[in-house]
Amino acid sequence: MSIANTYENKDDHKIPQQVLWLEIIARALTDAHYAGTNRLDLVESRRADTWLRTMSDDFQTVCALAGIDPHFLRDSYVSGLINMVDFKASERLRLSAIRDDERLRAMKMAAAE
Protein backbone atom coordinates (compact mmCIF):
# COMPACT_ATOMS: atom_id res chain seq x y z
CA MET A 1 0.00 0.00 0.00
CA SER A 2 1.39 3.39 -0.90
CA ILE A 3 1.24 6.39 1.38
CA ALA A 4 -0.68 8.31 -1.24
CA ASN A 5 -3.40 5.64 -1.12
CA THR A 6 -4.11 6.53 2.51
CA TYR A 7 -5.36 9.94 1.35
CA GLU A 8 -9.12 10.20 1.36
CA ASN A 9 -11.05 12.99 -0.32
CA LYS A 10 -13.69 13.47 2.38
CA ASP A 11 -13.83 17.24 2.24
CA ASP A 12 -13.26 18.78 -1.21
CA HIS A 13 -12.45 22.27 0.04
CA LYS A 14 -9.42 20.92 1.94
CA ILE A 15 -7.71 19.41 -1.10
CA PRO A 16 -5.28 22.28 -1.86
CA GLN A 17 -4.13 22.42 1.76
CA GLN A 18 -3.68 18.66 1.96
CA VAL A 19 -1.63 18.74 -1.23
CA LEU A 20 0.67 21.31 0.38
CA TRP A 21 1.18 19.14 3.47
CA LEU A 22 1.73 16.04 1.32
CA GLU A 23 4.43 17.96 -0.53
CA ILE A 24 6.16 18.65 2.79
CA ILE A 25 6.12 14.94 3.60
CA ALA A 26 7.38 14.10 0.11
CA ARG A 27 10.21 16.61 0.53
CA ALA A 28 11.16 15.07 3.88
CA LEU A 29 11.22 11.62 2.28
CA THR A 30 13.33 12.90 -0.60
CA ASP A 31 15.74 14.69 1.76
CA ALA A 32 16.02 11.63 4.00
CA HIS A 33 17.02 9.48 1.01
CA TYR A 34 19.79 11.87 -0.09
CA ALA A 35 22.88 9.88 -1.03
CA GLY A 36 25.28 12.64 -2.10
CA THR A 37 28.30 14.15 -0.40
CA ASN A 38 27.31 17.80 0.08
CA ARG A 39 27.69 18.55 3.80
CA LEU A 40 24.66 20.83 4.08
CA ASP A 41 22.47 18.35 2.23
CA LEU A 42 23.72 15.56 4.49
CA VAL A 43 22.74 17.61 7.55
CA GLU A 44 19.26 18.15 6.08
CA SER A 45 19.08 14.44 5.27
CA ARG A 46 19.78 13.52 8.88
CA ARG A 47 17.22 16.07 10.12
CA ALA A 48 14.58 14.68 7.75
CA ASP A 49 15.41 11.11 8.81
CA THR A 50 15.06 12.04 12.48
CA TRP A 51 11.78 13.86 11.81
CA LEU A 52 10.35 10.84 9.96
CA ARG A 53 11.43 8.40 12.69
CA THR A 54 10.03 10.30 15.66
CA MET A 55 6.47 10.96 16.64
CA SER A 56 7.03 14.63 17.41
CA ASP A 57 4.04 16.92 17.68
CA ASP A 58 5.18 18.63 14.47
CA PHE A 59 5.34 15.31 12.59
CA GLN A 60 1.90 14.26 13.83
CA THR A 61 0.39 17.64 12.92
CA VAL A 62 1.80 17.58 9.39
CA CYS A 63 0.54 14.02 8.89
CA ALA A 64 -2.92 14.95 10.17
CA LEU A 65 -3.09 17.97 7.86
CA ALA A 66 -1.97 15.78 4.95
CA GLY A 67 -4.56 13.11 5.74
CA ILE A 68 -1.96 10.44 6.49
CA ASP A 69 -1.79 8.26 9.58
CA PRO A 70 1.51 9.23 11.30
CA HIS A 71 2.09 5.72 12.67
CA PHE A 72 1.65 4.22 9.20
CA LEU A 73 4.08 6.74 7.68
CA ARG A 74 6.71 6.28 10.37
CA ASP A 75 6.43 2.49 10.39
CA SER A 76 6.58 2.34 6.58
CA TYR A 77 9.62 4.62 6.50
CA VAL A 78 11.51 2.83 9.28
CA SER A 79 10.83 -0.61 7.79
CA GLY A 80 11.96 0.53 4.34
CA LEU A 81 8.57 -0.09 2.74
CA ILE A 82 8.52 3.36 1.14
CA ASN A 83 9.87 3.17 -2.36
CA MET A 84 10.60 6.72 -3.51
CA VAL A 85 9.96 5.92 -7.18
CA ASP A 86 6.53 4.44 -6.38
CA PHE A 87 5.76 7.27 -3.95
CA LYS A 88 6.52 9.98 -6.52
CA ALA A 89 4.55 8.16 -9.24
CA SER A 90 1.52 7.69 -7.00
CA GLU A 91 1.67 11.34 -5.97
CA ARG A 92 1.72 12.44 -9.63
CA LEU A 93 -1.33 10.27 -10.34
CA ARG A 94 -3.17 11.57 -7.28
CA LEU A 95 -2.40 15.20 -8.09
CA SER A 96 -3.57 14.66 -11.67
CA ALA A 97 -6.86 13.22 -10.39
CA ILE A 98 -7.30 16.24 -8.10
CA ARG A 99 -6.72 18.65 -11.00
CA ASP A 100 -9.24 16.71 -13.12
CA ASP A 101 -11.77 16.90 -10.27
CA GLU A 102 -11.22 20.65 -9.89
CA ARG A 103 -11.71 21.17 -13.66
CA LEU A 104 -14.93 19.14 -13.57
CA ARG A 105 -16.20 21.15 -10.59
CA ALA A 106 -15.40 24.44 -12.40
CA MET A 107 -17.24 23.24 -15.53
CA LYS A 108 -20.29 22.29 -13.43
CA MET A 109 -20.29 25.69 -11.75
CA ALA A 110 -19.99 27.48 -15.11
CA ALA A 111 -22.85 25.40 -16.55
CA ALA A 112 -25.03 26.21 -13.54
CA GLU A 113 -24.59 29.97 -14.05
Query: Average pLDDT in the 102-112 region?
Result: 77
Residue 71: per-residue pLDDT: 95
Answer yes or no: are the C-beta atoms of 67 and 3 closer than 8 Å: no
pLDDT in tens, 37-62: 999 999 999 999 999 999 999 999 99
Q: List the Cα angle 63/34/99 in 5-degree steps.
A: 45
3-state helix, strand, coil in the chain (%, to 5): 80, 0, 20
**pLDDT higher than 80, residue 7:** no
